[in-house]
Amino acid sequence: MTTPTSRRTGRPRAVTEQAILDAALLQLDAGGAASVSVRGIAAQVGIAPNALYTYYPNKAAVLRALVERFLGEVNHDRFIDRQLPWRQRVEALALELRTHLVAHPGAVHLLLGGPMDGPNALALREVLSEVLADAGSRPDDAARGSYVLMVYLLGAIALEVAEIHQPDTAPTEPERIATRRAALDTIPAEIYPRTSRTAGTVAKYFTTEQFLWGLQRVLDGLDPHA
Amino acid sequence: MTTPTSRRTGRPRAVTEQAILDAALLQLDAGGAASVSVRGIAAQVGIAPNALYTYYPNKAAVLRALVERFLGEVNHDRFIDRQLPWRQRVEALALELRTHLVAHPGAVHLLLGGPMDGPNALALREVLSEVLADAGSRPDDAARGSYVLMVYLLGAIALEVAEIHQPDTAPTEPERIATRRAALDTIPAEIYPRTSRTAGTVAKYFTTEQFLWGLQRVLDGLDPHA
DNA sequence: ACCTGAACACCGTTCAAGT
DNA sequence: ACCTGAACACCGTTCAAGT
């Protein structure tokens, strides 16, 4: 909690916590969450692997700090502006979050891996809660609604990232659709008779448009004046 | 794709694919997704670690097969019954999925880790799509709506599981709330002035009630007659 | 106080050899 | 065809020793 700005004595630190997080993010972007390693981070910043334990108690703490810093880069500008229509405020936040996470696909895993209870994660929920309150929701509904929004945003981005960016040699888009259709064909027709008819439709939507369409439906459900 | 029922020649198999998946699930339940290992599975079923590569090409394939089997255990009974109100059908499916996943928290990670394009994953989406179609949605809206529902269900369960079941010594519920409040207090009051007022409210909801409340809001948004 | 080298108990996967 | 032992190139973490 307390952050002493200078160390008492002894040898100066060779690197900074930020440099360690930078290295972790680099590894994350390069090879996905599975390829982030203590040894790799240490090599990148130029210290012995075990020296990292002077900065963070263990690997999990490094990843937690990375998630926190990551969320801190999202919470900024125009969502506080109460002049804008509330739906527009949520949409802007949603798109910003999505942009950040799609740019660092491995981070999604980390986000959903642990409890979202860091300061920045809570700040995100608070922002959403305030927007809903401004929209006219009663406090309880605003709080619960902010949870529903978080669920939708993180869930949608998680599924999108899982679709797009599987760790190894990802098949191209047409290949993936073909695979999906083939898989679909193995479903017994007696059980899901309408399957083959709607298969193409189901497979079609994985875009910003789908993301925003879903968001609008969720907002419809949360709109206190609907 | 073809499933030969008998092997051509040579030594009989020592175990079955199912036994391997059983062992994987056991490891998953015991220590979370991180503690599932090829060597652990092999030890459990009583073969050498590398013998496992006769059954599956690699660890990822084992986990993929486990996810598929897992989803297969969910898709059953009363969601096909067109007599029931459509919201009730979705709610039943949602609760069944949630029960299964909360019972095997490590599986959530696996589900969200890869693309949901196996036969059973698609069947799940198809069921939801059909329910929405029965509710009166046009085919496109039903397909897109089924995606929104999947996002909500998996997202909500993922967040819930992450809250409840972090891998190591999980703090008790009051401890967690205290931690969350403490974290919240570090948010600068000038930026989020209403934070402290709503903190208690935000922290309060992580229950079946919240899960179903959110589901109802999503269904409100997807209801073609709303 | 922070760093290093060495070690411990693990990983996933491959290869050559047995039956 | 399936199994095994041995090996390779990794992990996260700890400990004793250096400065």
Tens of pLDDT, residues A77-98: 767 788 999 999 999 999 999 9
Question: Helix H segments across B73-118?
Answer: 86-103, 106-113
Cα nearest neighbour of B145 on chain A: A214
- What pLDDT does residue A124 have? 94
- How many other C-beta atoms are found inside a 10 Å radius of the C-beta of residue B82? 10
- What pLDDT does residue B89 have? 96
Cβ-Cβ contacts under 8 Å for B30 (sequence gap 6 or more): none
- To the nearest whole angstrom, how far is the Cα of B50 from the nearest Cα of chain A? 21
Residue A187 is nearest to which of B119, B129, B226, comparing CB atoms?
Answer: B119
| pLDDT at A30 exceeding the cut of 70 | yes
How buried is residue B81: exposed, middle or buried, by Cβ count under 10 Å (0-12/13-18/19+)? Answer: exposed
Q: What would the mean pLDDT of A162-189 be, rounded to a whole number?
A: 49
- What pLDDT does residue A8 have? 63
| pLDDT at A110 exceeding the cut of 70 | yes
Residue B22 φ/ψ, nearest 5 degrees: -60, -45
| pLDDT at B34 exceeding the cut of 50 | yes
Q: Which two tokens stand for residue B133?
A: 């179609």
Query: Any chain B CB within 8 A of the CB of A123?
Result: yes
In chain B, at which residue ranges do the beta strands (DSSP E only) sit? Answer: none
- What pLDDT does residue A167 have? 57
Average pLDDT taken over every residue of chain A: 84
Report whether A20 contacts A53 (CB < 8 A): no
First to last CA, chain A: 44
Query: CA-CA distance, B46 to B62, in Å (whole number)?
Result: 17
Q: Angle, nearest 10°, between helix axes A106-113 and B139-164?
A: 60
Query: Any chain A CB within 8 A of the CB of B171?
Result: no
Q: What is the Cα B79 distance to its own chain's centre?
A: 18
Better-scored residue on pLDDT, A221 or B167: A221
A171: region left, alpha or beta (phi > 0 left; psi from -120 to 50 alpha): beta
| pLDDT at B199 exceeding the cut of 60 | no
Tens of pLDDT, residues A48-87: 999 999 999 999 999 999 999 999 999 777 677 889 999 9
Report whether A103 contacts A161 (CB < 8 A): no
| Among B residues 127-146, those touching chain A with beta carbons less than 8 Å apart | 127, 129-130, 133, 139-140, 142-146
Tens of pLDDT, residues B65-78: 999 999 999 977 76
Query: CA-CA distance, B110 to B158, in Å (whole number)?
Result: 11
Per-residue CA distances from B76 to A87, B96, B110, B136 (Å): 38, 10, 21, 23
Tens of pLDDT, residues B156-194: 999 999 987 665 443 344 444 444 444 434 433 333 333
Nearest protein residue to C15's C1' (by CA)?
B50
Q: Round and report the angstrom distance from CA (A50) to C1' (D14).
A: 9
| pLDDT at B4 exceeding the cut of 60 | no
Counts of helices then strands in chain A (DSSP H, E): 10, 0
- What pLDDT does residue A163 have? 86
pLDDT category at B102 given cuts 50, 70, 90 is: very high
Nucleotide nearest to A48 (CA to C1'): C4
pTM of the model as a whole: 0.86
- Could you tell me the sign of the dihedral formed by the alpha carbons of B183, A109, A59, A43, in that order? negative
Better-scored residue on pLDDT, A193 or A69: A69
| Among A residues 41-100, those touching chain B with beta carbons less than 8 Å apart | 60, 80
